[in-house]
Amino acid sequence: MLQTMARELAPLHQGDPIKAATREAYGKALLELGEEMPDLCVLDADLSGSTKTKAFGQAYPERFFNCGVAEANMMGIAAGLASMGKTVFASSFAMFATGKAWEQVRQSIAVPQFNVKVAATHAGLTVGEDGKSHQMLEDITLMRVIPGMRVLVPADAVEARLAIRAAAENEGPFYVRLSRASTPVVFGEDYKFELGKGAVLRDGGDVAIIACGIEVGMALAAAEELAQSGIEARVIAMASIKPIDADLITEAARDCGCVLTAEEHQIRGGLGSAVAEVLATRAPVPMAFCGMDDEFGQSGDAWDLISHYGLDGPGLAASARALVEAKNS
């Protein structure tokens, strides 16, 4: 079924790219896993239509629990089910799953290392018109700092489905960050997701752009623009932020001489910080960080916001161009 979806969503060679939301892929992955894993349980905080867990609830009502608008309690229930040997996915919007329930995720799930997967949708600026109250831009930081918590931020629907499967098949707590908006599909049916590994989507030796989530597609667009001015960018999709692919990051830094990170998140504590931590000890090179710089988002059209904050293709290209100039000066 994974190969079928990859074929369905594979990028077009001509015309506009196919788009799909990673939350949609999450819902489809749960249906597959529900059939394969009789011990799989899914919890939601009264948002199953938006998080796409509703289909699982309809197919497996005895293993689906709507916990209401009570995210902290949901995490405790998830921990209890996991303590009885169940594999548990707990879902809500990223703002609530990681913000309202952080203590319970830490104390009840991470401390005992229970087999709970927190899959949060509606993360980042692309929540759009809902504004700063719902645009969760600190969740990667909050989850990455918890000992033993694995953090995944898939780039597209193909990778999201594979990442959910990896979370289900690996014991212990995971955080998977998913988007509300439909975004371009960048991976084809031959892609194989591996925990702790990044993927080189485009080669180049002038600058390495390391991105996660929706910014992977933006990084590819930036690389196309940069190539027109003679700058060859290496684009790396880094869905596995914890554990992170330190070897691939180091290789890219040594080959390119500078690194730009791109994330729909605060630049402190997220992907950029994780990459910088690797390079500080392995291969210090000039770096720049594209993301939110100590500010909340605004209410507006999702893609207008991405452009406003310099996180679209032209914005990343401008940041990469300045970084290359600094490297060569």
- Cα 89 to Cα 53, 102, 115, 172, 241: the distances in Å are 10, 16, 9, 11, 19
Q: At what angle do helices 271-282 and 246-256 cross, to 10 degrees?
A: 70
Cα 188 from Cα 185, distance rounded (Å): 8
Tokens at residue 191, please? 């892609």
Nearest to 157 by CA among 30, 49, 21: 21
- Annotated active-site residue 35? The verdict is no
Tokens at residue 202, please? 């485009």
Give the sign of the dihedral formed by CA 214, CA 216, CA 217, CA 221. Answer: positive
Cα 125 from Cα 322, distance rounded (Å): 24
Q: Which run of H or E residues covers position 135?
A: none
Residue listed under structure tokens 């780039």: 155
Residue listed under structure tokens 């980042």: 124
Phi, psi of 89, rounded to the nearest 5 degrees: -110, 125
Q: Which of 71, 215, 263, 264 is catalytic?
A: 71
Q: How many CA atoms lie within 13 A of 90 on its CB side?
A: 34
Cα 301 from Cα 86, distance rounded (Å): 40
Cα 75 from Cα 67, distance rounded (Å): 9
Nearest to 89 by CA among 109, 69, 106: 109
Q: How many CA atoms lie within 13 A of 198 on its CB side?
A: 28
Cα 66 from Cα 123, distance rounded (Å): 21
User: Which residues are catalytic, by number?
Assistant: 71
